[in-house]
Amino acid sequence: MINILIADDEPIVRQGLNIILKNSHVPVHNIIEAANGREAIQLAKRYSPQVVILDIKMPGCSGLEAMKFIRQTLPDSKIIILSAYNYFEYAQEALRYGAFDYLVKPVQPEGIVKVVCRCLKEFKQKNNGGKSGDPSYAHQKFPSRTDISGYTPCQEDKLQALMQQGEALAICYELKAILQGFSQQGEALPALSALATELLLVLLRAALEAGAEKLLVTDCKHQALCKIFQAKNEEDLLQTLKKTVYVLASSVPQEEESRNSHIIRKVEQYINENIKEPLTLADVAQHIYLSPAYFSTLFKQEKGENFSSYVNRIRIKKAKVMLAKGSLTQRYIAQKIGFSDACYFSRVFKKFTGLTPGEYRQKKTGMQKALSS
C-alpha cells in the first residue's frame, strides 16, 4: 500500500485524480492533496509519499521548484509532472530534476493509472532501467523544436494569411502537404506529433491576430493538444488539425457574418438532421470540436436560449406538423423526434404550447373541419 501526494492549484484536477486512483487497482493507502507547491513540500515531509504528482505551474512555488525540495528529503519518491504544454523543453527540465514521467493535461484516467503502476513496478525492481531521470529519455516523447524542419517560413506565412481570410479548406490542403512531406523523410510519430504541435501554435496565433475570440482559441488549444498527444498515427494528427482549423477559421470575423454564426449554422443543421437522436449538449459539442462548457456559453449567447430548450422547441415544432396529420400516434411521433418516453413528450409539449398533444390535435382537427365546411 502506498501514499500518493497530488499537488495542483485546480481543485477539480485534484479531486478527479483522487477519484481515478481510488477507483483503480492501484494499492493506495492514503491520498494527500496540496493546493500549491509550498503546501506540497510540507505535506511530503509529513506523509513521505511514495508517489508525488505535481502540476508544473502553481502560484507561489512551481511544481519544478517543489520537486527540487522533495527530491532532497525523499530521494526514492517517484515524481510525476503534469503540464498543459507538450513541449520538449518542459519535459527536459522536469526529467533533469528527477521526474519519473511527464503527462500533458487533460490527463486520461488510464494514463495516470498506467504511470503510477510503472512507479510501483520500479519500486519492486529497484532499478529504473535508464527510462526515468535521464534527460535523453525526453527525446522519445518530446523532440526538440530545433529538431523540427517540417515547414518553411514561407509556408508559415501562407498559413497565417489563409487563416486571416478564413480559408479553412486551403489551410487543410497545406497542412496535409506539410505532414506528408515530413513523414516521407522517414520521421517517426513523436517527431510528427511535435510538428503537429508547432503547426497548431501557428494556427492559434494567426486566429488570435485575425480577431478570433481568445476563449475559443484557448479551448481549441487544450482539446487539440490532448488529441495530438493521444494520436496513434499521421492520419490522427491530420484529422485533429483539420477539425481545429474549421473551428478557428469559422471564428475569424468576416465582413458579412459574425464570428460565431457559421458554428451555430452547423449546429442547427446537425440538430435538424439528428432530431430523433438523444442530442445531448456534450455530443453536439464534440461534433463541432468544442468543449461542452464553451459551447453552452456560445449557444446561449447566439441563440438567446439554452441548448436543451432550443432542441425541445425544434422537436415540438416538428411534433405540431405531425400531429396535424391526424393519423400518427403520439408514441410514434415522440420516437420520431427524439423522445423515448411518450409521457415526457406530452409534458414538454404542454410546457411549450399550453396544450397536451391530444388537445392540440383536436384543436387543429376542429379548425380544419371548420375551414372545409
Phi/psi at 113 (5° precision): -65, -40
pTM of this structure: 0.42
Q: Quote the pLDDT of residue 151.
A: 67
DSSP string computed for 250-308: HHS-BTTB-SSHHHHHHHHHHHHHTTTS---HHHHHHHTT--HHHHHHHHHHHHSS-HH
Is domain 2-141 given the CATH code 3.40.630.30 in the classification?
Answer: no
State the architecture of 147-251 in CATH terms. Up-down Bundle (1.20)
Contacts by residues 40-48 (CB-CB < 8 Å, ≥ 24 positions apart): 40/5, 40/7, 40/66, 40/70, 41/66, 41/69, 41/70, 43/5, 44/5, 44/69, 44/70, 44/73, 44/74, 44/77, 45/73, 47/3, 47/5, 48/3, 48/74, 48/77
Residue 277 CA to chain centroid, in angstroms? Answer: 23
For the chain, first and last CA: distance in Å?
84
Q: Using an 8 Å Cβ cutoff, are 321 and 313 in contact? A: no
Nearest CA-CA partner of 150 in 189, 190, 88, 192? 192
Give me the CATH topology for the region 260-373. Arc Repressor Mutant, subunit A (1.10.10)
Kindly state the cell numbers that stand for 37. Answer: 507547491
- Please give, one letter per residue, the 3-state secondary structure of 99-142: CCEEEECCCCHHHHHHHHHHHHHHHHHCCCCCCCCCHHHHHHHC
Spans of the chain below 70 pLDDT: 85-93, 96, 126-151, 153, 187, 254-260, 262, 289-290, 368-373
pLDDT score at 370: 67
Buried b (16+ CB within 10 A) or exposed e, 263-302: bbebbeebbeeebeeebebeebbeebbbbeebbbebbeeb
According to DSSP, the residues that pair with 101 across neighbouring strands are 80
Strand-strand pairing, 101-104 and 78-83: parallel
Q: Domain residue spans in the chain?
A: 2-141, 147-251, 260-373
